[in-house]
Chains A and B, each alone.
Chain A
Amino acid sequence: GAVVSQHPSRVICKSGTSVKIECRSLDFQATTMFWYRQFPKQSLMLMATSNEGSKATYEQGVEKDKFLINHASLTLSTLTVTSAHPEDSSFYICSAGLRGWSYNEQFFGPGTRLTVL
C-alpha cells in the first residue's frame, strides 16, 4: 500500500524558534497533501491543503504566515512552524492523496509531536 513518512517523529524546541516538518510519499506521487493538527484528546483539525506547485489553501483561523507550507514536488511537502510558542505544541499529521484519485482515500503519515518549551 501507499506509504507516507514524516520527519522528525518528535521535536522539542525553544520558544521563538522555527521548526520544519517534512512529509514524503514514498512509493507514489501525491498531487495533494493535507496538514492536520491534533491536540491531546481532541480530533484532527485540518490546517491546510497543499497542491504541488501552487500555494496552499489554509482553513479559517490558521495563520498562513505562521504555518508555512511548501509543496515543491509530487513526493514532498513541508510545514514550517515559525516563531513557535508553547501553544503550538501539538501532534502534526500530514496525509497524501494519489494522483488522479477520485475518492477520498488519504494516506496518513505517522505524525510529528512538537513540544515548544
Chain B
Amino acid sequence: DAKTTQPPSMDCAEGRAANLPCNHSTISGNEYVYWYRQIHSQGPQYIIHGLKNNETNEMASLIITEDRKSSTLILPHATLRDTAVYYCIGAPGNEKLTFGTGTRLTIIP
C-alpha cells in the first residue's frame, strides 16, 4: 500500500467546508485513494474513493491532483456529527487496507 501522510489534527467551524489534505507521493498507478472515518468507539465508515478523477457523493468530494501525489477530502457543510478521525489510504482494489494514524477532525460549534 502507498504510504500516506496526514496532519494529526484539524479544527473546522460548524457549517463551513472541512478540507482534509493527504499526501501520497509514492502511490502506484493501480492504487486507489480511499477515505474512511471513525467516530469515537465505533467501526470505521467508508466515505469515498477515487483513482484519477475527482469524485463526489452524498457525503463528500474527493479532489485528486493531476500527478496523483496528493488529494483533499472536502466535507461541504461540516456538522458536529462529522467530528471523527479521518483516514486516507492508498491501496489497490480488492486488497487489504492499511490504516495510518489519520487526521482527528474536530467540528467547533
Contacts and interface: CB of A to CB of B under 8 A. Distances in A.
Contacts of A72: none
Main secondary structure of the interface of B (DSSP, over half): loop
A12 interface: no
Chain B contact patch, size range: 20 to 34
Given A43-B102, A95-B43, A103 B96 contact: no
B99 A43 contact: yes
A108 B97 CA distance: 12
B100 A46 contact: no
Interface SS of chain A:
strand
Contact of B41 (A6, A91, A104, A109): A91
Interface of B: 32, 34, 38, 41-46, 49, 87, 89, 91-102
Most buried by B among A44, A95, A110: A44
Interface of A: 4, 6, 34, 36, 43-46, 49, 91, 93, 95, 97, 101-111, 113
B43 A34 contact: no
Contacts of B89: 104
